[in-house]
Amino acid sequence: MGRNKRKPFAALLAISAFLVLWGPNEVAMAMHISEGILPARWAALWFALSLLFLVPGSLAIVNAVSRDKAFVSRIALAGALVFVISVLPIPVPVSGTCSHPCGTPLASILIGPLMSPVMGSIALLLQALLLGHGGLTTWGANVFSMGVVGSMAGYAIYRVARRWGGGVFLAGFLAGSLGDLLVYLTTAIQLASGVPSGSGFLEDLGRIVIAFLPTQLPLAVIEGMLTGGILTAVFRSRPEILESSPQGLSLSFPFVKRR
């Protein structure tokens, strides 16, 4: 990789280091759903569902690295971005939750929707162990919402937007912002189903969604702009990254026609 092509990646790493060292570190806040919030049966269910994506994702990483050793650096960068972007929690007036950007929509576009959940799972595990964000018993639920839903939704939205003729920034903005909102809708569903108040699922779901909105809507816009900006920088220096599917997975949408 030439010196000019390294500049966007060096800048991203510098921003990541700044946020980790000088960004807010509210270790008392949960990453997504705090330790012990979900009953055991629900925690086990989300853990099992997450494994359905983490196993093929791990195999995809092994296969990709075996074909191209240099791909390790891209995977590491994607993992660092997910960790940093999702490490800045903002309290939400619902017990055991917080609001924050996700980073997995961006990661899925850079390395693919199979590998991105694995990076999200590692970031969530480190945050639970080192920073007190999230928990081990709720790790599976957090992986499913942020890692799986964020990755799959972000990647699909980006590809559809590009196929419809959207530019890189617009497609990235939609992927980041809508992917972020879908992650939190999933989290709301997890909380409403796993921690019912007795007033009914839909009422609980509506209460949680409304509680998230004041912080999550602005954060979704910010994550959309961040995702679009980073992808634009990558596209200008190394467009092949956004045009390739390194793990051999290619999502096609035959029902969507190019404009």
Identify whether 8 is part of a domain.
no
Query: Would you state the pLDDT for residue 158?
Result: 96
C-alpha separations of 154 from 52, 123, 162, 174 in Å: 19, 18, 12, 8
pLDDT of residue 131: 81
- Three-state SS for 14? helix
**Count of helices and strands (H, E) across the chain:** 10, 2
Cα 96 versus chain centre, distance: 20
On whether residue 228 sits in a domain, the answer given is yes
120, 146 contact by CB (below 8 A): yes
Residues with Cβ < 8 Å from 257, sequence gap 6 or more? 163
Query: How many Å apart are CA 103 and CA 120, to the nearest integer?
Result: 8
d(CA 244, CA 46): 31
Q: How far is CA 70 from CA 62, 65, 147, 187, in A?
A: 13, 7, 24, 35
Per-position pLDDT tens, the chain of length 259: 445 544 544 554 454 444 444 444 433 333 478 888 899 999 999 999 999 999 999 999 999 999 888 888 889 989 998 998 888 766 555 544 557 889 999 999 999 999 999 999 999 999 888 887 788 999 999 999 999 999 999 999 999 999 999 999 999 999 999 999 999 999 999 999 988 888 889 998 999 888 888 878 888 998 999 999 999 999 998 888 887 654 444 443 333 444 3
Is 24 part of a structural domain of the chain? no
Q: Does the model's pTM come out above 0.85?
A: no
> Is 27 among the domain residues?
no
Q: Cα torsion at 26, 27, 28, 31 (round to 10°)? A: 90
Domain boundaries, position 200? 32-243
Task: Using DSSP, state whether 80 is helix, strand or coil.
Answer: helix
In a domain, 47, yes or no: yes
Identity at 251, one-letter amino acid code: L
Q: Report the pLDDT value the prediction gives residue 249, as an integer from 0 to 100.
A: 47
Judge contact between 109 and 154, C-beta under 8 A. yes
In a domain, 192, yes or no: yes
Q: How far apart are CA 135 and CA 32, in angstroms?
A: 9
Among residues 69, 89, 75, 79, which one has the least CA distance to residue 26? 89
14 domain residue, yes or no: no
Is 253 a domain residue? Answer: no
- Amino acid, res. 14: A
What does the alpha-carbon distance between residue 28 and residue 98 come to, in Å, rounded to a whole number?
Answer: 11
Q: How many domains does the chain have?
A: 1
CATH code, domain carrying 158: 1.10.1760.20
**pLDDT given for residue 133 in this prediction:** 79
Note the residue count of the chain: 259
